[in-house]
Structure 1
Amino acid sequence: MTAKRGLITDSFQVVKRERKGKKREKSPTLPPQEEDVSETVRAQELHKLRQFDLDWRFGPCTGISRLQRWERAKLHGLNPPEEIRNLLLQIEDDPEYNMSLWSEYPF
């Protein structure tokens, strides 16, 4: 005795769409939105500062500001990047720039 294998179409109705003879028209694509340049620059700068925080070659970064850490690393001859110092000196009043990545965590 052989069991008859059913097809999937035995259980589900076959639905075919009608073709209209023409190609489907694509919906018009929206022009790319221009991102706020200042936001992308800020994001890039904060990314560089976070990378500086995560680089242990320049010593620990908990409990001090980024500029203090940079100066301490320079004092000990660890050659921290000048780009970081310039960035920190340009924007002195923003705590997101000045404090390290770990400043929000209690230790």
Structure 2
Amino acid sequence: MSSKNRLITSSYRTTKQSGSERKFANDVKPSTSKDQFEQDMVVLKEFDLNWEYGPSMGITRLERWNRAEKHGLNPSPRVRQIVEAHSEDEQYVQCLWNDYKNLI
């Protein structure tokens, strides 16, 4: 295989798993609320850090999502679902940079 066609994962050592250790796409692992919180925060932080949707300072995530949708930028519907499901929790509603506005 030429170096142009190699994948980055080709350089990692592979290990074999026994049949009982294999994970399949259809296996559903029940998540704890802490796991779900962490997954939600990853999605929301990625949204906050994506400059494609414009600035995020001074507006809520939902306002930013609506603005991006209005301009045809197709933000992830998952972001809206997460924020609306936790509309009373500032960690979900406010952007990553919300605490920094007090420093200015």
TM-score (norm 2): 0.66
**What amino acid is aligned across from residue 56 of structure 1 in structure 2?**
W
Q: What is the distance in 2 between the residues matched to 1:40 and 1:87?
A: 14
Q: How many residue pairs end up in the alignment?
A: 72
Deviation at 1:97, TM superposition (A): 0.3
Aligned to 2:98: 103
* Cross-structure match for 1:75: 70
Deviation at 1:89, TM superposition (A): 1.0
- Return structure 1 stretches of 4+ with deviation > 2 angstroms: none
Q: How far apart in 2 are the matches of 1:62 and 1:78?
A: 18
Offset at residue 40 of structure 1 (A): 1.0
Pairwise CA RMSD = 1.2
Q: Structure 1 unaligned runs (5+)?
A: 1-35
| Separation in 2, partners of 1:87, 1:39 | 14
Partner residue, 1:92 = 87
Q: By how many angstroms is 1:86 displaced?
A: 1.0
Q: 1:85 Cα deviation (Å)? A: 0.7
Q: Which residue in 2 is equivalent to 1:40? A: 35
Task: Pick from 53, 61, 66 the counterpart of residue 58 of structure 1.
Answer: 53
Instruction: State the TM-score, normalized to the length of structure 1.
Output: 0.64
Letter in 2 for 1:57: E
Whole-angstrom distance in 1 between the partners of 2:78 and 2:91: 17
CA drift of 1:87 comes to 1.0
In the alignment, the residues of structure 2 paired with residue 81 and residue 39 of structure 1 have an alpha-carbon distance, to the nearest angstrom, of 22
Code of the residue aligned with 1:38 in structure 2: it is: S
Unmatched runs of 5 consecutive residues or more in structure 2: 1-30
